[in-house]
Structure formats: structure tokens, C-alpha cells
């Protein structure tokens, strides 16, 4: 009901104006209320009409509110909180009663009217207020606190309105709780493609339901589908995929990135900015104005990383994928002071002192954070590689002073005590199997003794020795190192005070958060027992296997913890080597092709371990149209199975030599056996080999020829069916390359001498000298340009060349000497007969260009010949082109060459696999 409130005329007018202007209440509502109050004495003279006036007022007010709600529901929502802040709570109650009267029935309204008529003049509160009586109403005191609060809110509203007009309004920050796993999955979910969704819906409409007469489960159907998918890939395609996986295996595509053109900056700054901006996506770059702050931030990071803290940037959008950055670098920050200090047992060792004397940054250099971090990494790696596992940082700090543009570097490192190496423990991957080699053989590959200082090169040498021995299928060398030590960094007093204060504040915040998180009610969670669902119970076999694996993991973890504690206590690093020799037999096969030899096949069989002494055996078989050969080698470790061993060799070969003379061909059969000792890397990486070989040749001549027409140099080999030579030799060789399979840089050199005597199972007194060189050199971006060269020189010193066995003389032509000519088709000739050369001089130069990653085009020229004693015969040369592919097993080369020194210009095709070193 309406309340009897006494206001003065001025107070009422100010209140109405305030309500209309500030609280934004609908003006129609307020106007209807004022007019109803003002004209109520004129329209109704009797007191009985007071109640009806209030009723009509309520109805008109109610209808006005309904109309307002229909026009703008938002305004109605906005009115409600303003009404709740009104200074007259009774009026709010009246409005709520008016709104609730919509739900009352007609009978309740009539009962209320009868009650008011019976009351007569007793209800004074329902009498209308006369406008003239407002002046007689006494003044009431306004609550000062409420007024101050209203004015405060009004001033804040004015400021917000001004900020909104100026465009500087700030949106209030709203605390957001950490997203749940389900919310993260929904956020990361890719946007829906409407077209693909419609196609998916249409395809679902075409699905037909059939009865499952066979009773197969979904798992069975999935397995059948997977088998069908595997069957679609052919045999050769699967082999190709093993060498080079299909692109379908990696279908993920990265978002396209932008490129940056940087001008006005030094080379290092420009390169760093360009690299940093290249991580920005083209999608985000689409809105250039929105991207500018991020581009500026990335450029600042890139500039500060190389010492330019005051650089200015101007960005220009060139295209949708390119931005131009104009840089004003200003003065860079330079290193004014640098202090690198070591303490502990290793402080004066060369490993640390070389870093102190030759740091990556020096005084006067422009500050480069990458080089600073590189110096730190060198210190940590030096400690780890040399066994200082108790080392820790005392201080690492860079102070940049602005605007002086100077920097001070301070590095302090405690090395601690150096650890030792213990004896190696050898294990098999299958604990039930015994070691296949005696412990003496295994320890011979260990480059240290118990108690030697720890060094990473020693552990790495052991791993390489085990791999290069080719005894095992795989090896694992594990060093049990203690966990790194972490200690607080030393700080200057002023910084230490700030850090202590920050720790106190963090502890206070953590305690408050912990207090807020406490709750008097225990939170419980009911977890479903998944073992109650069908199909989730593991079988007994699976359960036993899982338990066994868990026990093994627990045992390994427990053993590792014990060994780490032991290493920390004894200052000695345990080394455990795990070996596997399940497959001791291996077979390798290679193929090649030449126009003269046609297809050729080479197969190698190897038995890695013959006995517990470390003996091994391998055999090679080569088959082609003109040559068939088989040889074997039995290796016996002497002092070291890797670097010092003895080879026993033996073999048989057969060759068909056509066109060695007019209507004459030659068939040679050779048996070879010998022994050699090989010593690797005794000094400077050189390999020494010395031994002997005995060769017995049988020659069969085909064709009818008058013996008077055969020259003396060819007659002796032809007349003697068997020829022999026992040669004692020594070879010195060295190979350096950046890769043993696909080198891009390397050099190989070899020098050999062999001696034979007529008094010791040789047909002639002779000394054979041989020298060879190979090189590969690459340059340019990604080693795109490559140069390959080789040269071979040989000479036979003898008192009678006619007695030298035919197969020991020199011939040229073929893959290994001069491409474009047939195999061994170049030789000195007498009366049309190829008698063989006393000297050999051949060479090759080749240029390769990488036009695609792993693919190269080649242009080459070979030259040289097998010469007589005085080098009288002409030099042969050829040119050719080829293609190379960098395969996992080595370069695969396909060449086409033409012997242009020959009048017929023969063309030959050559195909081979392997490095050119």
C-alpha cells in the first residue's frame, strides 16, 4: 500500500530530476505517477474514493510497466538494480506489490475494496497528499554517509562515461578458474568444416543396415579391415617405404609462415629479426593492425638477444606473407666487464682454464645472449665430460646498464671433486644367456683401468669399440651418474634483500591460499570399479606378464638408486654394458651394372662370433658375365679385436678376356691365399698392414693364331699355362671424412709396396709400388656444390717385364679407372695384342650439384691409361653425366660416359653403390 511520506517541494523536485537523469527510469512511468498524484484532489472529492484512486494508480502503473517491458526488455532489466538502490525502500516494496498484483484474482481485489469502504475515514494513510500541504511538511535530515556514497558513485560514473567517450575505458579484469581437461579438449578441437560435415551427414543417410549372420564382433571386423589395408600395398612399394617412408605417413601440415625483409640493420641483427619473425603465421598476419604489437615485441626480443636494446622499428606490409622491417639500431650494448671464476678441485685444470682465457664473449664485444649462454653451456659440459658431477653454479649474472649501454658479466662455478671410473660390468640382454666372449676379449675393448679419472671420451670409445667389433647385434653402455647438486646462487646484498622479501611475501600468500582452501566438509569422490565391466578383467597370462614387468622396473629403479648413492659416496662411476648376440649370422647383397659386365651381384656372409676367443669369419661372392669370384677371410684378434688383428685370406676367381688380340680371347683362373696383420690408428690415424700373398694363375688361350705373329711380351704368358708369384707387402693408409656412409667432405690416401723374387716362388724379380688419393669437398648452402676427385699411380720395377705374370700387369677401363671404356680394355699393344702395362696413371674430376634434397646431378671426366715402360702410348679420356641419390646405405650412382679419345666414341652405362672415397 502507499505510504505517507513527508517531503518538501524543493526536495521532491530534485529527487524527481535525479531519478530521471541519473537512474534512467522510464519517463512515461514517472510522468504518470506525478500527474496522478497532482490531479487526485480535483478528480475525487470523497474520502471513499481514496482506495479506488490507489487501485486505478496501480492499474495504470501496471499497464505502463507492461508496455515498457514489451518495447525494451533490456531497459526493464536495467531499471531493477537502480530501484534497489533508491533511498525509499518502501517504494520498492510498493512496486513489487504492484507487479505481483497481476497474479491476484478478481475476488481478492473486491474483498480488499469492501474492507477499505467499511474502514471509512479511519485509514488516513490512504488519503491523497495535497500539493499545497507539501510546504508545511517539516524538513528532515539527510544521512550524510548515504549522500557521500551517492556522490562518490556519481563521480565514478562520470569518469567512466568520459573515458568511454575518449576511448580509454578499461574492462574490469575477471578471474578465470583453470580450465578442466574436458574444457581444454573442447578449446583445442579444430573448427567444424561445414562442407565436410554436410558430406558426412549425407553419407550417413546412405548407410544400410544388414543382419550380422556371421556373428563377428567389431574387433574382428576392424582386424579384417586393417589386413585389407595392408594387402593393398605391394611388395616393391613396401621395400621402397622402408628406404623412404611414404608422405602419407606424415600428413600433418604446418601453418604457413611469413617472411621478413629487414633493412637498415647490421647482418647479425637483421638475421635474428628475420628468423624471429619467420615464426609468425600468415593467418595472424592477416589483420596487420592487430599483428603490429606482436611483431614489435618479437623484433624487440630478437634485437635485445644480440645486444641492441634501443632499436626502433617501422613495419610495412608488402604482401599477405611478407613484411618489411626498417630498423634504426642505435647504439648497441657492449661488454664492459667480465669475470669468469672457478673454484674447487678442477679450478686449475686445462678444461676450465681454456674457457676462462678464450670465452665466447670478450670485453668490448657487443653483448650477445646466445654467446653468453654458449659459454655457460661449455662450462657445464666440461664439468660433465670430465667427471665433476658435484659441480654447481655459485653465480651467473648479466647486468645491463641504461642509458650507458654497457653490460657486466659475472660467472662463478664450483667444480667439486673429480669422479673415477670403476670396472665395467658386462651383462646380456637376456639374463638367462651367458656371455659369448671371454672376459679377456671384452676387457681388451675397454680403454681404462679401475680408478682412472672419468672422461667422456673413454666411455664413448668403449661404445664405439663394441659397435665396430661387429660381434653384437646391439650394445648399450650406461654410466650411473649421481644427480646434479642444486644450491642457491650467490647474490649481492641489495638483491639478496629483495629476494628475501619476495620469499616472505610468497610464503604469506601461500599460507593465505592454504587457509582459504580449507573446508570443514570432507570432499569425497566415488570412483567406478572398472573391473566390474565385461571385458576389462585381464587374463591370468596378461596379469602375470604385467606383474613381472613391474617387478623388473622396480628392481631396476631400486638398483639405479643404490648405484647413484654408491657413486656419490665413493666418488666412482659404475659402468654397465648390456649386450645382445641373438643373431650371429648375417647376409648382405648388392647389385651393379655395367655395359661390359652387364648385371653383377655381390653377396657377403658373416659369422660374427666363431668361438669365445673372438674369432670371426666372412665370405664374399661376386658374379657377373665376365668375372666370377669367391673369397673368404678368417679374423683372429691379436692384441685388440678392433685395432690389432690378423686376417687369413683365400679365394678363387675366373675371368674371360675378349679382344685381347686379333681373334684371340683369354680365360684366366686364379687361386690366392695369404695372411696379413692390420694395426689401426697407432699414430695420427694411420692404418698399417703388412703380410704376404701367394698367387697362382692358369691361363687358357682361345683362337688359332700363328705363334710367329705373337709378340714376346704376350708369348711368354700364353706359352706358360701356369704363373705364380709370392709377394710380401706393406701398406700405409689414412681416411678422414665427416661420414662413413654419405660423406660430404673427406680425404683418403694410401701407399703400398710389394716385393717378389725368382728365388722364392715367383716367376720374376719385381717391386710393385702403388699410391692412391681420393677427395670429396662440398661448399655452398646445404653443401649444394660438391667436387670429387681421384688419382692412382702404379709402377712395376723389374729386370724382365716379359716374365711378370699377366694378371699382375696393369689395365685400365671400367668403373674404377676410366668410365666410358670396357673393363680392362686399355693397355699397351704390340701387333694388336694387349700385353699389359708396366705403369698405371689414371685420374678423375667430377662436379655434383644438389638440385633436390638428397639428389645430385653429376658432370665428370676421366683420363689416363696403362702405359709401357717409357709412357709412349696415348692417354685416353672420357666425359659423362650422372645422377646420385643419397640412400641410407650409401650413394647410389648412375653414370653414362663416352670415351671421346676413341674414334668410335663408345658409350657405356655404369651403376654402383657406395662411397667414392
Which is more confident, 641 or 543? 641
Angle at 901 between CA 827 and CA 912, to 5 degrees: 75
Task: Write phi, then psi, for 342 (nearest 5 degrees).
Answer: -120, 145
When pLDDT is averaged across residues 85-94 and rounded to a whole number, the result is 40
Q: Is the pLDDT of residue 537 over 90?
A: no
Q: Is the pLDDT of residue 677 over 90?
A: yes
Reported as a single tens digit per residue, the pLDDT across 690-710 is 999 999 999 887 766 666 556
Give the range among 151-165, 776-790, 813-827 with minimum mean pLDDT.
Answer: 151-165
Q: Is the pLDDT of residue 843 over 80?
A: yes
Residues 679 and 816 in one domain: yes
Contact 688, 732 (CB under 8 A): yes
Within 8 A by CB and 6+ apart from 122, the residues are none
When pLDDT is averaged across residues 884-888 and rounded to a whole number, the result is 91
Within 8 A by CB and 6+ apart from 347, the residues are 415
Model confidence at 511, in pLDDT bands (50, 70, 90)? low
Within 8 A by CB and 6+ apart from 210, the residues are none
Q: Which helix (H) or strand (E) holds 69?
A: helix 49-71
Which of 351, 352, 278, 264 lies closest to 313 in space, CA to CA? 264
Within 8 A by CB and 6+ apart from 331, the residues are 310, 405
Residue 744 falls within a domain, yes or no? Answer: yes
Residues 132 and 277 in one domain: no
Which of 394, 381, 372 lies closest to 352 in space, CA to CA? 381
Within 8 A by CB and 6+ apart from 691, the residues are 647, 674, 675, 676, 677, 728, 729
Contact 746, 735 (CB under 8 A): yes
Per the DSSP assignment, residues forming a β-bridge with 325 are: 262, 315
Model confidence at 578, in pLDDT bands (50, 70, 90)? very high
When pLDDT is averaged across residues 489-506 and rounded to a whole number, the result is 71
Q: Is the pLDDT of residue 638 over 70?
A: yes
A 10 A CB-CB count for 667 gives 14
Which is more confident, 831 or 675? 675
Residues 733 and 868 in one domain: yes
Cell 658479466 belongs to 409
Position 463 scores a pLDDT of 93
Q: Is the pLDDT of residue 770 over 70?
A: yes
Position 141 scores a pLDDT of 62
A 10 A CB-CB count for 745 gives 15
- Averaged pLDDT of the chain: 77
Contact 604, 587 (CB under 8 A): yes
The DSSP 8-state label assigned to residue 231 in this structure reads: H
When pLDDT is averaged across residues 561-581 and rounded to a whole number, the result is 89
* C-alpha cell belonging to residue 141: 535530515
Q: In what order do the strands lie in the sheet with 420-428?
A: 420-428, 572-580, 474-479
Q: Is the pLDDT of residue 249 over 90?
A: no
Number of independent structural domains in the chain: 4
Cα separations (Å) of 74 from 27, 68, 95, 111? 16, 10, 18, 36
Model confidence at 567, in pLDDT bands (50, 70, 90)? confident
Residues 403 and 271 in one domain: no
Residue 565 falls within a domain, yes or no? Answer: no
Q: Is the pLDDT of residue 279 over 50?
A: yes
DSSP assignment of 733-795, as one string?
A: EEEEES-SSS-SSEEEEEEEEEEE-TTTT-SS-EEEEEEEEEEEEEESGGG-EEEEEEEEEEE
pTM of the model: 0.61
Position 193 scores a pLDDT of 54
Model confidence at 235, in pLDDT bands (50, 70, 90)? low
Question: Of 388, 414, 440, which residue constitutes the final position of a domain?
Answer: 414
Position 72 scores a pLDDT of 42
When pLDDT is averaged across residues 518-543 and rounded to a whole number, the result is 54
Residues 283 and 341 in one domain: no
Residue 374 falls within a domain, yes or no? Answer: yes
Residues 310 and 395 in one domain: no
Position 177 scores a pLDDT of 52
Reported as a single tens digit per residue, the pLDDT across 771-790 is 999 999 999 888 999 999 99
Position 711 scores a pLDDT of 61
Q: What gap in Å lies between CA 632 and CA 38, rounded to an integer?
A: 127
Model confidence at 652, in pLDDT bands (50, 70, 90)? very high
Which is more confident, 147 or 893? 893
Q: Is the pLDDT of residue 519 over 50?
A: no
Question: Of 414, 433, 466, which residue constitutes the final position of a domain?
Answer: 414
Q: What gap in Å lies between CA 789 and CA 858, rounded to an integer?
A: 12
Position 405 scores a pLDDT of 92
Q: What gap in Å lies between CA 779 and CA 45, rounded to an integer?
A: 113
Within 8 A by CB and 6+ apart from 592, the residues are 599, 600, 601, 602, 815, 911, 912, 913
Q: What gap in Å lies between CA 800 and CA 838, rounded to an integer?
A: 11
Rounded-to-10 torsion of CA 833, 838, 839, 840: 50
Residues 660 and 760 in one domain: yes
When pLDDT is averaged across residues 236-249 and rounded to a whole number, the result is 55
Q: Is the pLDDT of residue 756 over 50?
A: yes
Q: Is the pLDDT of residue 356 over 70?
A: yes
Residue 779 falls within a domain, yes or no? Answer: yes
Residue 37: alpha-carbon gap to chain centroid = 82
For residue 285, give the CATH number of its domain. 3.10.20.310
Residue 229 falls within a domain, yes or no? Answer: no
Task: Write phi, then psi, for 353 (nearest 5 degrees).
Answer: -70, -30
Burial track 620-655 (b if 16+ CB lie within 10 A, e otherwise): bebebebbbbebbbbbbbeebbbbbbebebbbebeb
Q: pLDDT above 90 covers what percent of the chain?
A: 45
Position 453 scores a pLDDT of 93
Contact 6, 140 (CB under 8 A): yes
Give the range among 190-199, 291-300, 616-625 with minimum mean pLDDT.
Answer: 190-199
A 10 A CB-CB count for 388 gives 25
Which of 577, 562, 573, 560 lies closest to 386 in space, CA to CA? 573
Give the range among 42-51, 168-177, 495-504 with minimum mean pLDDT.
Answer: 42-51
Residues 304 and 362 in one domain: no
Residues 272 and 374 in one domain: no
Model confidence at 520, in pLDDT bands (50, 70, 90)? very low
Cell 623388473 belongs to 552
The DSSP 8-state label assigned to residue 279 in this structure reads: T
Which is more confident, 249 or 268? 268
Q: What gap in Å lies between CA 269 and CA 367, rounded to an integer?
A: 12
Position 381 scores a pLDDT of 94
Q: Is the pLDDT of residue 216 over 60?
A: no
Residue 170 falls within a domain, yes or no? Answer: no
Reported as a single tens digit per residue, the pLDDT across 440-455 is 999 999 999 999 999 9
Work out the angle between the directed axes of helices 288-305 and 267-277 (0-180°, nearest 10): 140
What ranges in 455-517 are assigned the alpha helix state H? Answer: 456-468, 493-517
Q: Is the pLDDT of residue 61 over 50?
A: no
Residues 338 and 318 in one domain: no
When pLDDT is averaged across residues 145-174 and rounded to a whole number, the result is 68
Which is more confident, 58 or 907? 907
When pLDDT is averaged across residues 572-582 and rounded to a whole number, the result is 92
Residues 291 and 362 in one domain: no
Q: What gap in Å lies between CA 379 and CA 409, rounded to an integer?
A: 15
Which is more confident, 93 or 562? 562
Half-sphere exposure of 627 (CA within 13 A, CB side): 18
When pLDDT is averaged across residues 552-560 and rounded to a whole number, the result is 80
Residue 87 falls within a domain, yes or no? Answer: yes
Reported as a single tens digit per residue, the pLDDT across 5-46 is 444 445 555 555 555 555 454 555 555 555 555 444 444 444
DSSP assignment of 661-710, as one string?
A: ETTEEEEEEEEEEEEEEEEE-SSTT-EEEEEEEEEEEEEEEES---GGGS
Contact 745, 738 (CB under 8 A): yes
Position 833 scores a pLDDT of 83
Residues in the chain: 917
Residue 3 falls within a domain, yes or no? Answer: no
Structural domain boundaries, residue 341: 334-414
Model confidence at 237, in pLDDT bands (50, 70, 90)? low
What ranges in 206-311 are assigned the alpha helix state H? Answer: 218-231, 235-243, 267-277, 282-285, 288-305
Using only C-alpha atoms, the chain has a radius of gyration, in whole angstroms, of 48
* C-alpha cell belonging to residue 63: 499497464
Residues 351 and 318 in one domain: no
Question: Of 383, 414, 445, which residue constitutes the final position of a domain?
Answer: 414
Amino acid at each position: 500500500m502507499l505510504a505517507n511520506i513527508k517531503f518538501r517541494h524543493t526536495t521532491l523536485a530534485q529527487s524527481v530530476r535525479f531519478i530521471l537523469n541519473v537512474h534512467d527510469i522510464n519517463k512515461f512511468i514517472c510522468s504518470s505517477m506525478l500527474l496522478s498524484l497532482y490531479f487526485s484532489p480535483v478528480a475525487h472529492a470523497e474520502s471513499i474514493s481514496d482506495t479506488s484512486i490507489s487501485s486505478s494508480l496501480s492499474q495504470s502503473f501496471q499497464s505502463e510497466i507492461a508496455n515498457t517491458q514489451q518495447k525494451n526488455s533490456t531497459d526493464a532489466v536495467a531499471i531493477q538494480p537502480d530501484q534497489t538502490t533508491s533511498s525509499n525502500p518502501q517504494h520498492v516494496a510498493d512496486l513489487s506489490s504492484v507487479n505481483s498484483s497481476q497474479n491476484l484474482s478478481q475476488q481478492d481485489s473486491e474483498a480488499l475494496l469492501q474492507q477499505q469502504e467499511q474502514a471509512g475515514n479511519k485509514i488516513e494513510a490512504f488519503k491523497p497528499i495535497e500539493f499545497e500541504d507539501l510546504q508545511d511538511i517539516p524538513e528532515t535530515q539527510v544521512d550524510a554517509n548515504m549522500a557521500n556514497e551517492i556522490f562518490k558513485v556519481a563521480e565514478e560514473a562520470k569518469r567512466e562515461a568520459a573515458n568511454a567517450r575518449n576511448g580509454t575505458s578499461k574492462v574490469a579484469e575477471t578471474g578465470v578458474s583453470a580450465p578442466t581437461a574436458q574444457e581444454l579438449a573442447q578449446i583445442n578441437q579444430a573448427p567444424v568444416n561445414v562442407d565436410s560435415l554436410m558430406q558426412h551427414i549425407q553419407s550417413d543417410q546412405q548407410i544400410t543396415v544388414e543382419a550380422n549372420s556371421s556373428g563377428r564382433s567389431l574387433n574382428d571386423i576392424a582386424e579384417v579391415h586393417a589386413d585389407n589395408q595392408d594387402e593393398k600395398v605391394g611388395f616393391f612399394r613396401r621395400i621402397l617405404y622402408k628406404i623412404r617412408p611414404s608422405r602419407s605417413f606424415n600428413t600433418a601440415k604446418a601453418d604457413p609462415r611469413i617472411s621478413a625483409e629487414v633493412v637498415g640493420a647490421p647482418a647479425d641483427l637483421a638475421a635474428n629479426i628475420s628468423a624471429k619473425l619467420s615464426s609468425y603465421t600468415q593467418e595472424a598476419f592477416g589483420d596487420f593492425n592487430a599483428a603490429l604489437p606482436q611483431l614489435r615485441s618479437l623484433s624487440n626480443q630478437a634485437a635485445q638477444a644480440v645486444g641492441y636494446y634501443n632499436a626502433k622499428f617501422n613495419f610495412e606490409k608488402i604482401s599477405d606473407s611478407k613484411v618489411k622491417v626498417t630498423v634504426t639500431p642505435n647504439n648497441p650494448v657492449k661488454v664492459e666487464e667480465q669475470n669468469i671464476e672457478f673454484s674447487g678441485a678442477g679450478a686449475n685444470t686445462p678444461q676450465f682454464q681454456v674457457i676462462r682465457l678464450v670465452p665466447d664473449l670478450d670485453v668490448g664485444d657487443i653483448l650477445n645472449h646466445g654467446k653468453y649462454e654458449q659459454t655457460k653451456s661449455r662450462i657445464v659440459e666440461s664439468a660433465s665430460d670430465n667427471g665433476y658431477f658435484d659441480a654447481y653454479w655459485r653465480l651467473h649474472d648479466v647486468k645491463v646498464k641504461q642509458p650507458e649501454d654497457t653490460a657486466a658479466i659475472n660467472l662463478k662455478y664450483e667444480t667439486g671433486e673429480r669422479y673415477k671410473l670403476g670396472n665395467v660390468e658386462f651383462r646380456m640382454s637376456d639374463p638367462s644367456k651367458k656371455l659369448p666372449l671371454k672376459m679377456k676379449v671384452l676387457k681388451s675393448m675397454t680403454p681404462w683401468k679401475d680408478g682412472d679419472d672419468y672422461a667422456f671420451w673413454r666411455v664413448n670409445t668403449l661404445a664405439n669399440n663394441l659397435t665396430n667389433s661387429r660381434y653384437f647385434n646391439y650394445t648399450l653402455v650406461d654410466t650411473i651418474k649421481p644427480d646434479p647438486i642444486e644450491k642457491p646462487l650467490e647474490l649481492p646484498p641489495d638483491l639478496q634483500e629483495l629476494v628475501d622479501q619476495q620469499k616472505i611475501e610468497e610464503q604469506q600468500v601461500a599460507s593465505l591460499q592454504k587457509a582459504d582452501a580449507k573446508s570443514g566438509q570432507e570432499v569425497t569422490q566415488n570412483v567406478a570399479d572398472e573391473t566390474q565391466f565385461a571385458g576389462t578383467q585381464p587374463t591370468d597370462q596378461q596379469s602375470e606378464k604385467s606383474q613381472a614387468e613391474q617387478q623388473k622396473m622396480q628392481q631396476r629403479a631400486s638398483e639405479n638408486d643404490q648405484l647413484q648413492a654408491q657413486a656419490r659416496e665413493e666418488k666412482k662411476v659404475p659402468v654397465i654394458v648390456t649386450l645382445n648376440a641373438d643373431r650371429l649370422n648375417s647376409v648382405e647383397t648388392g647389385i651393379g651394372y655395367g655395359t661390359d659386365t652387364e648385371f653383377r651381384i655381390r653377396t657377403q656372409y658373416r659369422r660374427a662370433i666363431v668361438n669365445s676367443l673372438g674369432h670371426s669369419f666372412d665370405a664374399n661372392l661376386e658374379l657377373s658375365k665376365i668375372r666370377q669370384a669367391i673369397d673368404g677371410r678368417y679374423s683372429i684378434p691379436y692384441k685388440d679385436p678392433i685395432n690389432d688383428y690378423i686376417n687369413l685370406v683365400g679365394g678363387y676367381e675366373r675371368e674371360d678376356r675378349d679382344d685381347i688380340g686379333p681373334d684371340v680371347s683369354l680365360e684366366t683362373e686364379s687361386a690366392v691365399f695369404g695372411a696379413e696383420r692390420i694395426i689401426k690408428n697407432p699414430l695420427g690415424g694411420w692404418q698399417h698392414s703388412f703380410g704376404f700373398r701367394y698367387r697362382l694363375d692358369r691361363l687358357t688361350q682361345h683362337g688359332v693364331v700363328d705363334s710367329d705373329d705373337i709378340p714376346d711380351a704376350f708369348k711368354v704368358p700364353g706359352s706358360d699355362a701356369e704363373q705364380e708369384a709370392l709377394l710380401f707387402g706393406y701398406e700405409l693408409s689414412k681416411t678422414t671424412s665427416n661420414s662413413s656412409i654419405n660423406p660430404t667432405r673427406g680425404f683418403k690416401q694410401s701407399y703400398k709396396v710389394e716385393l717378389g723374387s725368382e728365388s722364392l716362388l715367383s716367376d720374376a724379380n719385381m717391386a710393385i709400388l702403388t699410391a692412391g688419393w681420393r677427395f670429396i669437398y662440398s661448399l655452398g648452402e646445404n653443401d649444394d656444390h660438391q667436387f670429387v676427385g681421384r688419382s692412382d699411380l702404379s709402377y712395376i720395377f723389374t729386370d724382365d717385364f716379359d716374365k711378370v705374370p699377366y694378371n699382375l700387369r696393369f689395365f685400365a677401363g671400367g668403373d674404377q679407372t676410366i668410365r666410358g671404356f670396357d673393363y680392362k680394355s686399355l693397355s699397351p699393344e704390340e701387333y694388336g695384342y694387349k700385353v699389359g702395362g708396366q705403369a698405371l696413371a689414371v685420374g678423375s674430376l667430377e662436379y655434383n650439384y644438389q638440385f633436390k634434397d638428397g639428389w645430385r646431378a653429376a658432370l665428370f671426366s676421366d683420363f689416363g691409361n696403362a702405359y709401357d715402360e717409357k709412357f709412349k702410348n696415348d692417354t685416353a679420356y672420357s666425359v659423362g653425366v650422372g645422377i646420385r641419390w643419397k640412400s641410407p646405405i650409401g650413394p647410389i650412382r648412375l653414370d653414362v660416359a663416352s670415351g671421346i679419345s676413341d674414334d668410335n666414341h663408345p658409350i657405356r652405362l655404369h651403376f654402383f653403390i657406395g662411397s667414392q672415397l
